[in-house]
A and B are shown apart, each in its own frame.
Chain A
């Protein structure tokens, strides 16, 4: 669990864009305007190579892609493209394959709250209603805000609840929320 060697050799779908966005935000807050420029350059080169082929059908992946991209969707071509791709794929998942018709017992709340977070920070008319439906479905199922005891899902209670809160009110996740 130290940093001496990788435990998994694969490349995460969103790791490069998460790195690019997060390191840029950190640097913009820092008094040294180039403190992370080498690291940002690394991430930018990986993202430039990959963003045009981004696609996903995973609700958490799509939501977090949209969240990350929204930070620079008005400044970086790759972020604009990723945001558009995430919205495109969310439409496929929710409008074309009718994901929300899947029985709720076969779904995971926190992954879908990720979708809601993405839509919350980057609203789109037709997807805003999807976010509302997701939140309502889990509230009606008794998973949030106060979970009905379910031993199968007990270990997921904390992640479900913190991501529910962020889905309902994205606040600090959103660009320009803090001044």
Chain B
């Protein structure tokens, strides 16, 4: 993406669609390099949106062994404000879905393991009153 389109060229919703479209291209054309492109995109997203905006550190809660434990930034151009960078539940679930499909397309269970780790990490931040009859959510 060009300057001004996502942060450092990345935007989580668009990139999730990118991974899924690469998988579709692989199935439709039988060309394995589309799966390589999907894998490179996944790694790039984790390296940028899984880190602070200056890329100096992983997001709080994440370690090298658990790189998605801090969630993933959306990739908004602005750091703060009404349209600022943060984490959206529906972007995160779309990314988990993309990792899951890549796991099935490649046969590599590690991608689904990453999706499960992300799912576990972000759930308590978005769902509250979990012990009540009806939990609530924030987005």
Contacts and interface: CB of A to CB of B under 8 A. Distances in A.
A29 B100 contact: yes
A1 B109 CA distance: 28
Given A11-B139, A166-B20, A39 B119 contact: yes
Given A9-B138, A42-B130, A2 B71 contact: yes
B132 to A, nearest CB: 9
Which of B52, B94, B116 is most buried by chain A, counting CB atoms within 10 A of its CB? Answer: B116
A35 B101 contact: no
A172 B139 contact: no
A18 interface: yes
B30 to A, nearest CB: 13
A3 B23 CA distance: 30
- Chain A residues touching B, range: 35 or more
Interface residues of B, number: 64
Contacts of B104: 29, 178
A11 B139 CA distance: 6
A25 interface: yes
A45 B135 contact: yes
Interface in B98-134: 100-101, 103-105, 109, 112-113, 115-116, 119-123, 125-127, 130, 133-134
Nearest to B97: A22
Kindly name the residue among B6, B109, B115 whose own CB sees the greatest number of chain A CB atoms within 10 A: B115
B139 A171 contact: no
B27 A30 contact: no
Contact of B11 (A1, A19, A46, A159): A159
B87 A171 contact: no
